[in-house]
Amino acid sequence: MKNAGNAQLMNHSYSLKLSLFILLLSFQVKAQNFQKGFTDGYRKTLSNDRTGATQGFGDGGDPSKCDHWGGTYADGFTCGVKQATEYLQDRKKELARKEQNRPKELTINDINFDKPLENILDDIENRKQNIIQNIEPNTNEQAKREYIQVLETNTDQLVRVVTNRWNNLHQNNTGAETANNSNAELRYNPQYVQQLMQQQQQSQNNYNKEFESSLNELSSSMRGLSNSMQAMAMQNIKMELERRKNVANTFISEHSNRLNKLSALYKKIPESKFKQNLTGVYNGYFIMKKKYSFSNENELQTEIDCKIVIKNNVVKNIYLYGKKAFEIENPSKYPENSLLVNGIARYYDYDNLQESTIIVLEPYLNANSKNNLIISNEGAGFLTIWSNDKKDKGKKIYIQEISSNGAIIREYETGIIYAKNAKEIENSTDVLKIPFNTNTSFLFYGEVTNTPYGRFPLFPKISKKNNEPLSDNEHRYVEIKKYRE
């Protein structure tokens, strides 16, 4: 009996231990499931974030702070989502505080032109250095270099525009008309148009040098390929880069030739001819200095024929290509720059830091030139660039008009508009309608970016139909399906 009692006691003890083991194992399994749910919920919430509020997975969270710690997988997942959401909110607030306190680039509106020019330029340089010193420490080196490069370019442009404007405001002039005209420095100078393009040949030389380096590197890479498919892909890349080089050089050379012809004609005009008073609609030439997606950060001088409405030697309207849809707002935005001086009016776009020049020749060359030219209401359609991806909003798109022989006629830079779907963008009443010529096809490019073969803009993914010419007054909505960078 005693042995039977001992056996029963041992069985009871074994059962108790087995129950405790099973219970402990159950707790461990539940704890593991809870931990997995927490980690999955936390990481999924942060990885789905598209605001840039965090990188990676934050600090990983703290499961012990959960209300149902040790519960089911679903309990852990819910708590992980909650903690990650709170982390994101705190991180966004922190980034917003940093952004608010981070020094911003100076704009033309921040400049006090009553100060000496030397002090203004010091302020601009000090602000640039302050911005560089306050770059986010975690920024990778490549992004940091690109940001500083853009900052340097913007600063150089601002210095140039500020210097020109300061000189205009502080020059010693006589006569009320001259004193009120910001183009007063445009004295009679037969070499003026030639001076506008002095940088053109150097820009082209720089461009070709950089491009040749990229092509040579690509050719070297191709020689080491044994796979025929890879070699074919590289050959296609090389052909595309060659095409870009050729059309860019054609574009640069064509505009250089136009400027040379303008210079030759302008030099034929005696100073006395500029004394006449112009009123009417005349042919003119719009010269603009700007950077293009294909110019490798080099500024180019380009010329577009236009029709100009003039009243008592004051430019009232400018219509590029002589078309109503291509009116530019310089005369109304900068009326102080609109008085023709020796056939020339020069504008400084302080918002975009761009210079442009209007030149009128015909009435000074030919006393019988027409002054009642017609502004066309036809010959233009419109594009609007949009995407249903929020992170693409505002990204740059370069649109090139291409002639029937493949040459670049014009390039326009714009930003992507966000819309949920095609219906929303097409029903919007305030979208940006960009005018383009009919009978020209299109190529679309994204931001200039680093590639294994140099810095080039990539093609975004769009419907091929968008490359086709516009019809008169057509408004085409171009969806960017994927922005490649």
CA 430 vs. chain centroid, Å, equals 21
Pairing of strands 475-479, 380-387: parallel
Q: Which of 418, 421, 349, 416 is nearest to 383 (CA)?
A: 416
What is the mean pLDDT of the segment spanning 234-248?
Answer: 78
120's CB contacts (< 8 A; 6+ apart) are 111, 112, 113, 162, 166
Looking at the predicted structure, is the pLDDT value of residue 373 above 90?
yes
CA distances from 26 to 15, 23, 29, 34, 88 (A): 16, 5, 5, 12, 34
pLDDT at residue number 176: 34
Q: CA-to-CA distance for 112 and 474, rounded, in angstroms?
A: 45
pLDDT at residue number 321: 96
Q: CA-to-CA distance for 410 and 436, rounded, in angstroms?
A: 9
Pairing of strands 408-415, 396-402: antiparallel
pLDDT band at 44 (very low <50, low <70, confident <90, very high): confident
pLDDT at residue number 22: 47
Looking at the predicted structure, is the pLDDT value of residue 402 above 90?
yes
Lowest average pLDDT, out of 19-33, 266-280, 365-379, goes to 19-33
pLDDT at residue number 337: 87
Highest mean pLDDT among 103-112, 133-142, 157-166: 103-112
**pLDDT, greater one: 320 or 349:** 320
Lowest average pLDDT, out of 50-59, 66-75, 268-277, 356-365, goes to 50-59
379: left (phi over 0), alpha (psi -120 to 50) or beta: left
pLDDT band at 462 (very low <50, low <70, confident <90, very high): very high
Looking at the predicted structure, is the pLDDT value of residue 3 above 60?
no
| Cβ 470 vs Cβ 375: under 8 Å | no
pLDDT at residue number 396: 93
What is the mean pLDDT of the segment spanning 180-187?
Answer: 51
What is the mean pLDDT of the segment spanning 455-477?
Answer: 93
Q: CA-to-CA distance for 352 and 346, rounded, in angstroms?
A: 15
Looking at the predicted structure, is the pLDDT value of residue 207 above 60?
no
Mean pLDDT of the chain: 79
Q: CA-to-CA distance for 335 and 338, rounded, in angstroms?
A: 5
Q: CA-to-CA distance for 98 and 94, rounded, in angstroms?
A: 6
Dihedral (Cα; 327, 328, 332, 333), 10-degree rounding: 160
Q: Give this prediction's pTM.
A: 0.60
| Cβ 387 vs Cβ 478: under 8 Å | no
| Cβ 113 vs Cβ 169: under 8 Å | yes
Q: CA-to-CA distance for 407 and 280, rounded, in angstroms?
A: 34
